[in-house]
Amino acid sequence: MNSTAGVADIAKAVSTAQTTARAVVIAALARVEANNGRVGAFTDVTAARAMEQAERVDALLRDGKKLPLAGVPFAAKNLFDLKGVVTRAGSKINRDNAPATADAVLVHKLEAAGAVCLGALNMDEYAYGFTGENAHDGPSRNPHGLDHMTGGSSGGPAAAVAAGMVPLSLGSDTNGSIRVPASLCGLFGLKPTFGRLSRTGSFPFVAGLDHVGPLARSVDDLALSYDALQGFDADDAALVRRPLEAVSGRLERGSAGLRIAIADGYFGGEAEVREMIDKVAKALHVTRRITIPEAQAARAAAYLITMSEGAALHAQRLRTRAQDFDPEVRDRLLAGSLLPNGWIERAQKFRRWFQEQMLELLGGVDAIIAPSTPMRAPRLGQKTAIFGGVEMPVRPNLGIFTQPFSFVGLPVAAVPIAMEGQHLPLGIQVIAAPWREDFALRVARQLEKSGLAKAPVARGFADE
């Protein structure tokens, strides 16, 4: 199978014995070997493990077992535990830890469905950043423009999928870390409802905001993997016991019958962002606009909670090994250690208020459309950009549109929007009510069917 084959293509070909998991994995490992130097996606390649799993999958298929993700290669952001690998979470410090003794729950679930893990992927240190840059491992590079950022913190997961190394990756999203790189690398992503997917075996950042989810190149691929990832896990204190709410094969209705609105005001963005949103509105025949109340305050509250809780998580490491942090992360965590408690208390109370407002809005509409990022991928090393006419730092501000929604745990599909004449991607968020991932994915599917949403392997990485 070549670099453009998706999750569904591979699973079908392997399940029907047109090829083997072993052959698929050998080809994927060869692509990783050939291209990783250019994009900096993988930090650990677990080739031996992958070959063992591929052979196990082939044996199970020969025995007649049905596996929905048979032979699908994937990789996981390096904050997910992989048995035998040190979980670095983008840091130098955690490299001194012992190797993980078990796989993260989501890695296990994908492999139980027949997928094959190829290794661990680059990220912003401790998931604290939106750039995909990393002082220890070097940056992940955007396959659509190698001098540009992938976005982060799930930068490696985005680079690996956009470069066609794997059709599927696992990322995490505390404030936008799946949706920002999905936008900048032109991918589909899913940040599910808070409490939907297990975080067990992943290194935390801000427990009350941390989500995990998949990135892929089509809605079908996202849906197939999401269905395999669902399931209760008592070890994740935030997980809610829900029935399996499978979406695969249930998205073809698209947006028919759904009430959709475009977020205005705070989510207006620059000219190219507005142009993209206008195209989306036209494709979906949506004219309704809604204002999300106090979106700027929601972003501010998420920002402060993240700073403070992140600092508390890393307090001991800041005392003993400050010099070993990525400087971009260290200084923000040190500042986060010094914030007055009254600010954080107010931020938490505001969260409750904002949740109530969002639930009320989502009682009147089934999906809200907003941009994912305020701009296309900045250049690597770029420190500032113009946001709303004002020059501001890139690192925290790439997440201005994503933070308000993860702040209250809403499910969001990240959808890449194709624009003529643009080689650097840009994407939108489709936000739905809690537990209605299906609504968000149906809108994504509608945009995909219309031809407006697409996630091709980047030029120069696609097999002809």
Residue number, 88 or 191, with CB nearest to another protein: 191
Residue number, 4 or 337, with CB nearest to another protein: 337
Could you tell me which of 97, 184, 82 has the C-alpha nearest to residue 133? 184
Neighbours of 330 (CB within 10 A): 21
Smallest distance, Å, CB 352 to another protein? 5
DSSP string computed for 343-391: HHHHHHHHHHHHHHHHHHHHHH-SEEEEES-SSSPPBTT--EEEETTEE
Helix (H, G, I), strand (E, B) or coil at 284: helix
Could you tell me which of 200, 229, 232, 194 has the C-alpha nearest to residue 215? 229
**Catalytically annotated residues:** 77, 153, 177
Residues that bind another protein (CB under 8 A): 193-195, 208, 237-238, 240, 294, 296-297, 300-301, 303-304, 307, 315, 318-319, 322-323, 327, 330-332, 334-340, 343, 345-353, 355, 396, 408-410, 434
Smallest distance, Å, CB 139 to another protein? 19
> What CA–CA distance (Å, rounded) separates 431 from 418?
19
Task: Please give the single-letter amino acid code of residue 248.
Answer: S
Residue number, 285 or 319, with CB nearest to another protein: 319
Report residue 396: phi and psi, to 5°: -85, -25
Helix (H, G, I), strand (E, B) or coil at 35: helix
Smallest distance, Å, CB 351 to another protein? 6
Residue number, 277 or 410, with CB nearest to another protein: 410
Helix (H, G, I), strand (E, B) or coil at 157: helix
Residue number, 44 or 173, with CB nearest to another protein: 173
Q: For tokens 């739905």, what's the residue?
A: 432
Could you tell me which of 280, 257, 254 has the C-alpha nearest to residue 267? 280
Smallest distance, Å, CB 343 to another protein? 5
Helix (H, G, I), strand (E, B) or coil at 10: helix
CB 74 within 8 A of CB 168: yes
Smallest distance, Å, CB 71 to another protein? 35
